[in-house]
Amino acid sequence: MTATPIPADNPVLRVAPADPAEAAAHFAASLALHADVSDVAAALAAAGPDGDPGFALVDTRSTQAWDQGHVPGALHLPTALVDRMADRLLDPAVPVVTYCWGPGCNGATRAALALSLRGYRVKEMLGGFEYWVREGFAYETDGGAERRLPDPLTAPVGKDADCGC
């Protein structure tokens, strides 16, 4: 079987795809560093009677942002306070999942870096709080629990909806 020639003006294939082994290593590394909001929500829901999902979920935003809304069960540890507070709030034996506002914010990445430099095993929740809310998961505010309808551009809608990921 002969390979189809790639037109020079193809913007997707202008740089050839990676070798399959190189691609597999890259994607495995990405999954070791990231979790999406649906997986975090599923793990929290399946935590069992003790409520322990096997990781600490850390909201890295300011107190004002935390009060505006946060994932139920999350710990509040603003990025700027990681060096002073992490060892008081987190168990080094328990993996940590960080989140911030959303894809346009790198606060969770900065917190994950600070935590990993302190010896914690860390993943970042892709999409952050924005996608948590947009996918229709419940959240807490300083005024109580809230939930929005899922955004059909970010999550499947309907009874027993499943994205198939």
pLDDT in single tens digits along all 165 residues of the chain: 566 776 778 888 888 899 999 999 999 999 999 999 999 999 999 998 888 999 999 999 999 999 999 999 999 999 999 999 999 999 999 999 999 999 999 999 999 999 999 999 999 999 999 999 999 999 999 999 999 999 989 888 776 766 667
Count of structural domains within the chain: 1
CA distance 63 to 67: 6
Domain assignment present for 56: yes
Domain assignment present for 13: no
Domain assignment present for 64: yes
Q: Which residue bears the tokens 């935390």?
A: 66
Domain assignment present for 57: yes
Q: Which domain holds residue 129?
A: 34-146
